[in-house]
Chain A
Amino acid sequence: MKLGTRIMGAGFATAALMTAAAMVSPVDAKTRVAVGATETISSHNPHGDSISMGYGIWCQVYGCLGFFDFKTGSYKGMLAERWEIDKKDPNVWTFYLRKGLKRHNDGKELTSADVVHSFWRMKNDPQSRQTQNVKHVAKTEALDKYTVRVTTKKPTAPLLEFLFDRVMITSKDLYDKHGSKIADRKHPWGWGPYKLKKIEIGQRIVLEKDPGNRWASKSMPDELMFRVMREAEQRVTALLNKEIQIAQFIPPHLASRIAKSKNANLVPTSSVELMFLAMSPKHKPWDNATLRKAVCHAINRDAIIKAILKGQANRLDAPIGQGQYGYDPEAAKKMKVEYDVAKGKALLKKAGMVGLKVELHTPVGRYVNDKQVTESMIPMLKAIGLDARLKTPEWATLWANVQKGKVPFFYMGRGGVVDPSPAFAQYFETNGSPRIGFSNANVDRLLQKERATFDPEARKKVLNQAFAEIVKHQPACFMWRHKLLYGIAKNVSYKPTPTGRIWGYAISVK
């Protein structure tokens, strides 16, 4: 046989093999929705991670006390039917559990002992990465079979932000009988609408609907699978190939591939992650408020959103935006910092810092087009007279240094801001964390006051006063919230949530 014939033969054989391989189709389950996810949980322990996707998965398996409903803009009970705050002592919260909730596989009823155990485990499990969620809780007691009393250390109005969809309710009896490792791996039974079918760390997590469950509706997929796909190209290709039905976090430059496709739709949702430019006053020259104000006037956020983020972001006029707790459009208008080069120049001149050398630190690949965004800020800063340079350290290095308060000027995001209280206490209250190192007595007073104000309207007012005070001193320029783009197969209906959690109850297969 001649060489050319052999090569052609080998080519045909390869093509035949590839076609045969391509014909292998997945085993037909009932209805299955696969999600191409960017992150994954690292263990069977429901308290072993503190990532958005993990909270969403475990809440659907074990069940959680409740969650924030973005449709109504309020908290909704799940395992807890209702809750109340003691009128005499605002430290005392009482949660009333739903009666008759049956656990997967053995039908054991949910009781307050399970809830008390879960709070204890979150605090004491050596693997727990969720201790911060119960840091305000001093004591948890079972008042009767279905009633739990939670006592806080200080009055904490935003307590539900810490507890709802973050405290997974695991079984006390299974833990006592088997210990955490066996209970989590062999008996991951809960009261949520999905049972845990399989975890292959680094590859996929498979949930199976518990048909008899209170929250398991017919329209929900019978199987919900989370496949780890960190590369955006891969998620888009897999969606268009019908390997997955939901692709998380599509970067703007790939959006058109989905928009043009016959198989999938592009669905945007506003993220609750605040993007900001932080200037730490504990480092010179950033202790100068006039310099900080000059920087905020220098950044043309609209131009960046249009040119670099392709319109896929919502500008922040106030520290928070539409849909986040406490947002007031009227107050936001007053807080808006205009793009004004002349004003920036004048302020910089007033501060006596024209020609000052500064280094802007940015993560690369952590946020949408982060490097390009910050690259575009360099000429903007130069335009007001700052000699700015961009620094792009590896994420692990940058984040560790930011957490230690070693980075004076950086671009960053703060995710999960539904109720802004925890995030603003962390970044802008004295000793909240070393990250920005900002300290102001008025801001401290207002943030403490909002945490102790239980009337929602009064609390929103105090929150806005705190925001105005922060904007006045500008330890950070608030930039935008990215629009999270999801690719969703046309045979699937799903409205993504701003937190990035994926709820099976919100998915239906057409």
Chain B
Amino acid sequence: MLNYITRRVIGTIPVIILISLLVFMLVQAAPGDPADLLLSDEATPEDIASARERWGLNQPVYVQYWKFLVAALQGDLGTSFRYADPVLLMIGDRLPATVELAVVAILIAVFIGVPLGVWAGARPNSWVDNVGSFFGFFGISMPSFWFGIMLILIVSGFLNLLPSAGRNTYGIADDPITGFYILDSLLHWNWKAVWDGISYIILPAIALGTNMLGILMRVTRSSVLEVMHDDFVRTARAKGLSEHKVLWRHAVRNALIPIITVVGLELGTLLSGSIIVETVFSWPGSGSLLIEALNSRDYPLITGTVLTYTFIFVIINLTIDILYAAIDPRIRFDK
């Protein structure tokens, strides 16, 4: 197992370098100059030339990339053109908000999508299956930006139940410890801030998690439907186990592998999906930061954020592969 993990970790290095090269080149190839976009409407050609010089944009692209790579290998992703702060620090500040949102979205998707899928798979063509399938298709087909705006209009606007934008109410939270607002509020034993955090996160998390919920529901349903006809299920029934035990102790455990694969893959999709949802809900995470960076062609910030996302995605995939072994003893990586 250790050999496998080491091999996989080493294997990620060229992937990340290749992606950094690709992102760097794509960003440079995109039309639009950071100096033109970031300086004022009234900036003189001299101001623009001076900014280009300061940001190293006059150097050949391969020199810029080499400098970036050398610095990145030493843990320095450069300094944002727009914000004039180290990119790593900025991502560190904003990433917890995105991760917090993604975690809540996953929880919503898993805790609603999996049981719905299990029930639907266990009772094919019943009303539970029909309702579950409706939610599944709804989740899969609903664009998150549209669904987000609808949630704002209905839940915040019409029903006036939850706040429409932002991450928290000003003046309620204590000093951050981890950067995860709800967790920090729990650590401070500040229940008002906990509820406040939950009230702000519910709508963006629903908007973000609904697509995953739909996919998880569909995958779980078909996976459970498949294992319910396997021999071990017949054996379990023959032993006289209750239908509940057969379903949850035998069938669901064996149906978990594709579900975990989908959760892993969808985690990456959630991160990219958060870019849109964060913009719709003014959620101050790394996704909205990336949008701002793209709009102003802030090269270091774009490259740094995309690389961070890549790194997270690679780590998630690795974790999922390792989880396979824990869930299914038949899978061994050392052979």
Interface residues of A (CB under 8 A from B): 3, 17-27, 29, 36, 42-43, 45, 48, 50, 126-127, 129-133, 135, 198, 200-204, 206, 225, 227-231, 233-234, 236-238, 240-241, 243, 393-397, 399-401, 403-404, 414-416, 422, 426, 433
CB pair B163–A400 under 8 Å, yes or no, is no
| A426 touches which of B42, B161, B280 (Cβ 8 Å) | B42
CB pair A400–B33 under 8 Å, yes or no, is yes
| A43 touches which of B37, B84, B202, B280 (Cβ 8 Å) | B84
* B44, B171, B281: most-surrounded residue (chain A CB, <10 A): B171
Say how far A418's CB is from chain B's closest CB, in angstroms: 13
Say how far B281's CB is from chain A's closest CB, in angstroms: 7
Taken together as a complex, chains A and B put the C-alpha atoms of A50 and B281 apart, in Å, by: 26
Say how far A379's CB is from chain B's closest CB, in angstroms: 29
Sample of 20 more A-B contacts, CB < 8 Å, known A132-B44, A133-B42, A236-B157:
A22-B162, A43-B85, A126-B54, A131-B44, A131-B47, A131-B50, A203-B284, A227-B166, A229-B165, A234-B164, A234-B280, A234-B282, A243-B163, A397-B30, A397-B32, A399-B32, A403-B33, A403-B36, A422-B42, A426-B42
Q: Top 3 A-B pairs ranked by shortest CB distance?
A: A21-B199, A50-B40, A396-B32
What 1/0 mask marks residues of chain B from 52 to 86 whose CB sits below 8 Å from any chain A CB? 00100000000000000000000000000011110
CB pair B161–A233 under 8 Å, yes or no, is no
Say how far B17's CB is from chain A's closest CB, in angstroms: 27
Taken together as a complex, chains A and B put the C-alpha atoms of A20 and B165 apart, in Å, by: 18
A-B contact pairs, 9 of them (CB 8 A): A18-B161, A24-B172, A27-B170, A27-B172, A43-B85, A129-B43, A206-B170, A396-B37, A396-B297
Taken together as a complex, chains A and B put the C-alpha atoms of A26 and B199 apart, in Å, by: 12
B288 close to chain A: CB less than 8 A: yes
| B170 touches which of A22, A130, A204 (Cβ 8 Å) | A204
* Chain B residue at minimum C-beta to C-beta distance from A50: B40
B14 close to chain A: CB less than 8 A: no
Taken together as a complex, chains A and B put the C-alpha atoms of A129 and B297 apart, in Å, by: 16
Taken together as a complex, chains A and B put the C-alpha atoms of A404 and B85 apart, in Å, by: 28
Contact residues in B for A206 (Cβ distance below 8 Å): 170
Taken together as a complex, chains A and B put the C-alpha atoms of A108 and B281 apart, in Å, by: 42
| B82 touches which of A42, A241, A415 (Cβ 8 Å) | A42
What 1/0 mask marks residues of chain B from 134 to 165 whose CB sits below 8 Å from any chain A CB? 00000000000000010011001100111111
What 1/0 mask marks residues of chain B from 20 to 47 whose CB sits below 8 Å from any chain A CB? 0000000000111100111111111101
Say how far A505's CB is from chain B's closest CB, in angstroms: 22
Contact residues in B for A22 (Cβ distance below 8 Å): 160-162, 199
Taken together as a complex, chains A and B put the C-alpha atoms of A399 and B35 apart, in Å, by: 11
Contact residues in A for B294 (Cβ distance below 8 Å): 396
Taken together as a complex, chains A and B put the C-alpha atoms of A203 and B198 apart, in Å, by: 17
CB pair A238–B199 under 8 Å, yes or no, is no
B295 close to chain A: CB less than 8 A: yes
Taken together as a complex, chains A and B put the C-alpha atoms of A127 and B149 apart, in Å, by: 36
| B84 touches which of A3, A26, A48, A399 (Cβ 8 Å) | A48
Taken together as a complex, chains A and B put the C-alpha atoms of A134 and B119 apart, in Å, by: 70
| A21 touches which of B32, B39, B85, B195 (Cβ 8 Å) | B195
CB pair B157–A241 under 8 Å, yes or no, is yes
Say how far B33's CB is from chain A's closest CB, in angstroms: 5
CB pair A237–B295 under 8 Å, yes or no, is no
Contact residues in A for B163 (Cβ distance below 8 Å): 238, 241, 243
Question: Known contacts being A132-B47, A234-B280, is A127 close to B37, with CB within 8 Å?
Answer: no
Contact residues in A for B284 (Cβ distance below 8 Å): 200-203, 228
What 1/0 mask marks residues of chain B from 193 to 210 whose CB sits below 8 Å from any chain A CB? 001101100100000000
Question: Known contacts being A45-B84, A241-B160, is A130 close to B40, with CB within 8 Å?
Answer: yes
| B295 touches which of A36, A45, A241, A396 (Cβ 8 Å) | A396
| B157 touches which of A24, A200, A237, A400 (Cβ 8 Å) | A237
CB pair B149–A24 under 8 Å, yes or no, is no
Say how far A153's CB is from chain B's closest CB, in angstroms: 13
Taken together as a complex, chains A and B put the C-alpha atoms of A21 and B196 apart, in Å, by: 6
Taken together as a complex, chains A and B put the C-alpha atoms of A426 and B40 apart, in Å, by: 12
Contact residues in B for A26 (Cβ distance below 8 Å): 169-172
Say how far A38's CB is from chain B's closest CB, in angstroms: 11
* Chain B residue at minimum C-beta to C-beta distance from A435: B41
Question: Known contacts being A24-B199, A27-B172, A230-B282, is A131 close to B43, with CB within 8 Å?
Answer: yes
B234 close to chain A: CB less than 8 A: no
Taken together as a complex, chains A and B put the C-alpha atoms of A301 and B149 apart, in Å, by: 32
Say how far B321's CB is from chain A's closest CB, in angstroms: 33
Contact residues in A for B157 (Cβ distance below 8 Å): 236-237, 240-241
* B30, B156, B172: most-surrounded residue (chain A CB, <10 A): B156
CB pair B39–A129 under 8 Å, yes or no, is yes
CB pair A3–B280 under 8 Å, yes or no, is no
Interface members, chain B 212-230 (any A CB < 8 Å): none
Contact residues in B for A393 (Cβ distance below 8 Å): 31
Taken together as a complex, chains A and B put the C-alpha atoms of A260 and B135 apart, in Å, by: 35
Taken together as a complex, chains A and B put the C-alpha atoms of A23 and B160 apart, in Å, by: 11
Question: Known contacts being A127-B84, A129-B39, A202-B284, is A243 close to B32, with CB within 8 Å?
Answer: no
| B41 touches which of A3, A236, A396, A415 (Cβ 8 Å) | A415
Contact residues in B for A27 (Cβ distance below 8 Å): 169-172
B192 close to chain A: CB less than 8 A: yes
Question: Known contacts being A18-B202, A243-B163, is A202 close to B288, with CB within 8 Å?
Answer: yes
Taken together as a complex, chains A and B put the C-alpha atoms of A382 and B198 apart, in Å, by: 55
Taken together as a complex, chains A and B put the C-alpha atoms of A414 and B40 apart, in Å, by: 12
B279 close to chain A: CB less than 8 A: yes
Question: Known contacts being A24-B169, A396-B297, A397-B32, is A237 close to B82, with CB within 8 Å?
Answer: no
CB pair B195–A24 under 8 Å, yes or no, is yes
CB pair A129–B38 under 8 Å, yes or no, is yes
* Chain B residue at minimum C-beta to C-beta distance from A235: B165
